[in-house]
Chain A
Amino acid sequence: MGNYFDFSKIPGLMASTMQAFPTTVKLVVWSLIFSLLIGLAFASLALSGNKVLNAVAKGYVAFMRGMPTLVLIFILYFVVPVYLKKAGINTDSWSKDMFIIITLSLSSAANMAEMMRSSYLAVNRYQWEAAYSVGMTGFDVFRRIIFPQAFGVAIPILGNNIVALFKATSLAFSIGALDLFGKVKLISGRLYGLNRAELYLGVAVIYWVVCVLLEWATKRAEKRYTRGRKALTV
């Protein structure tokens, strides 16, 4: 590769990039919490049996499916604050991270809602009857019979959604937030564009390692949680 691609530079660049790792983790964790809460709300609507609420939930999911995350970031960062200000809410003091968390929470909530809805429906409806027949209350049935089974179904999907969320934080740079990739852009600017290939490769490896770890953890969690419950024959 000649002297214009310098492998020995990569570890140093990765170390500098990693300074922004806590920011990325913060973005992921908060977005995860909020997206689960918002997702729960929409999943409840979707399962409520009320046609109007159903349509609202479906509409939300479909809307987010069609919306590029980048466009959503721009809308929430450039457009919404103007109207919030008119409504008396000043967003000037809100950090860029906060806008990213809001965006990712809203877009990931659609995936979370779908995850919860489909996992819930994946549990055989006879499980309700069986639990009712031994005299359990609706709440007990959900807590002890339905939820544990739905959760087992949801674990791999949840893992996927977390990976997607983690990857989506890379768009935080678009409004100048300093996540992993934002930091990369900053470093790249300081180096006047030198060693770009090494820099990008370094951050790519960071993403790769984290994603592989997340996937591994997901698989392990699923295995542990559903141990014995799945048929032995493969």
Chain B
Amino acid sequence: MDFKFIVQMIPQMAPALENTFLIAVVSAVLGWILGMVIALIRTNRVRVLARILTVYVSFMRSVPLIIIMFFTYFAVPTLIAYYRVEHGLPVENIAGNTSLVCPIAAMTLSEAAFSSETFRSALSAIPHDQMEAAKSVGMTGIQAYFRIIFPQAFVIALPNMGGLFIGLIKNSSLAYYSGVVEVTGFAYTLASPTYQFLEAFFVIALLYEALSFVFSRLFRILERAFGRYRTGIVLQ
């Protein structure tokens, strides 16, 4: 193994790591908000919308993320360009797009579907009497959700959310195919000229393992911190 290569590689990796993080965190935040909305619409059986979202969730969970990414990276810009041409608008060059928008859009759309299932089962795990009790003391529906239902559902969903987040970090490796230089793409391009794949992949494999370890620990800590309701022990 060429340690010199590794020593030179690590400091250069910072921007790539930043991209990986940005993709994972932004997709998590946006995806989870959307997922929560989908879960609420579906659990409350909002007529047509709930049906449409059921189909959406089924579709997004079935289609490999790489296909969704190719769609947002290659197909959507092309469609937009066609549209602009048709309407006589100026068209920018769409080749070589390296913005984070495409992979984040793809991952957010997919994460919304996956996380909505987590949130839906968490919401359905809260007994009906919780909502009734909240209303009986005079809370509005929204107050009941934010003060009583969500805090409990959040605790139930947390372990799954940890898994989802680690999944996002892993999936961000696909952003390499959206022209974004994240960790995997960086390693691949750095190693290619001299065929030093061993060193490059060794480093990023360790990095991914470390990230997954750190975040699973972090979520474990969060679970413990928020788990007061569930264990029934309240520390004053």
Contacts and interface: CB of A to CB of B under 8 A. Distances in A.
A78 B86 contact: no
Interface size grouping (class) on chain B: 35 or more
Contacts of B76: 197
Interface string B156-190: 00000000001001110110110000001000100
B174 A74 contact: no
A225 B68 CA distance: 35
A231 to B, nearest CB: 18
A173 B64 CA distance: 12
Interface string A199-225: 011011001101110000000000000
Interface string A152-184: 000000000001000110110110000001001
B235 interface: no
A71 B204 contact: yes
Interface stretch (B28-36, B206-214, B226-234): B206-214
B62 A181 contact: no
A188 B71 CA distance: 12
B201 A197 contact: no
Contacts of A55: none
Nearest to B85: A4
A174 B166 CA distance: 22
Contacts of A203: 67
Given A208-B59, A212-B62, A63 B198 contact: no
A196 B62 contact: no
A200 B170 contact: no
A200 B71 contact: yes
A138 interface: no
Interface in B55-98: 58-59, 61-64, 66-68, 70-71, 74-76, 78-79, 82-83, 86
Given A4-B83, A67-B170, A197-B78, A170 B212 contact: no
Contact of A66 (B62, B66, B212): B212
B190 to A, nearest CB: 12
Contact of B198 (A4, A5, A79): A79
B197 interface: yes
Contacts of B171: 68
B82 A4 contact: yes
A65 B166 contact: yes
A67 B86 contact: no
Contact of A69 (B78, B82, B170, B198): B170
B205 interface: yes
Given A66-B170, A66-B213, A197-B75, A71 B184 contact: yes
Contacts of B68: 204
A52 interface: no
B63 A193 contact: no
Interface string A46-82: 0000000000000000110111111100110011001
Nearest to B64: A170
Interface in B89-137: none
A228 interface: no
Contacts of A171: 64, 66
Contacts of B177: 174
B71 to A, nearest CB: 5
A56 B15 CA distance: 34
A191 to B, nearest CB: 12
A75 B170 contact: no
13 contacts: A68-B171, A68-B173, A70-B176, A70-B184, A74-B184, A74-B188, A75-B201, A78-B191, A82-B197, A174-B177, A200-B67, A207-B64, A208-B63
